[in-house]
């Protein structure tokens, strides 16, 4: 019998001064049985950094044709496709063909090693932006994980402050791709 997803809930307050976006989001996260705390929290971080009223979690690990997060317009067209981790170049190019904008949040100690060989393969994708989330920050975010979470994310001048009930993680993303953000 296959294991079922674990349902986690998060109340997320976003104060993104760089985008002038301020809102509260009640999130329900289906955590795949193979997903680590770090990956789940990286998905929540990606949500916070791109928060929008129509941004939602996709099936990600469970469905090959869906991203970790996506934002659709009112007609159902994909405006923003967001991947967390280290997807292959074919998946990224397919996403770039389906969405107006594609963002990748690569994390872990091997993010640079993943990016170098595929950078040339995806350079023609004008709507792709790739970010590296520092490995120590993702490890610290993993410690904030729980079945029920109260989280705050503040973004100011590229600095990200992500807080749980007892701890705050400060991080700054490094841009791996050379494209202008859309």
Please state the length of the chain.
Answer: 182
Q: What is the pLDDT of residue 32?
A: 87
pLDDT at 73: 96
What is the predicted pLDDT for the residue at 181? 52
Report how far residue 170's alpha carbon sits from residue 37's, in angstroms, rounded to the nearest whole number: 18
Q: Model's pTM, two decimal places?
A: 0.93
> In which residue ranges of the chain is pLDDT below 70?
1-2, 60-63, 178-182
Question: Which helix (H) or strand (E) is 48 found in, with range?
Answer: helix 37-49
Pairwise CA distance, residues 131 & 118, whole Å? 14
Nearest-5° angle of CA 27, CA 29, CA 59?
120
**Domain locations in the chain as residue ranges:** 6-10+29-175
Q: Which CATH superfamily is domain 6-10+29-175 in?
A: Restriction endonuclease-like alpha-beta roll domain (3.10.640.10)
Identify the pLDDT of residue 2: 62
């Amino acid at each position: 019998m296959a294991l079922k997803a674990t349902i986690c809930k998060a109340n997320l307050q976003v104060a993104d001064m760089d985008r002038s976006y301020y809102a509260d989001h009640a999130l329900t996260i289906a955590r795949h049985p193979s997903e680590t705390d770090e990956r789940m929290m990286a998905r929540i971080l990606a949500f916070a950094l791109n928060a929008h009223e129509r941004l939602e979690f996709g099936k990600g690990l469970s469905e090959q044709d869906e991203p970790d997060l996506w934002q659709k317009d009112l007609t159902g067209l994909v405006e923003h496709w967001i991947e967390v981790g280290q997807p292959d170049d074919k998946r990224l190019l397919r996403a770039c063909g389906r969405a107006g904008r594609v963002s990748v949040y690569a994390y872990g100690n091997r993010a640079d090693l993943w990016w170098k060989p595929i950078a040339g393969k995806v350079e023609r994708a004008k709507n792709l932006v790739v970010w590296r989330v520092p490995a120590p920050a993702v490890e610290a975010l993993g410690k904030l994980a729980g079945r029920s979470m109260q989280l705050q994310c503040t973004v100011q001048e590229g600095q990200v402050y992500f807080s749980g009930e007892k701890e705050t993680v400060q991080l700054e993303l490094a841009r791996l791709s050379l494209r202008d953000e859309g």
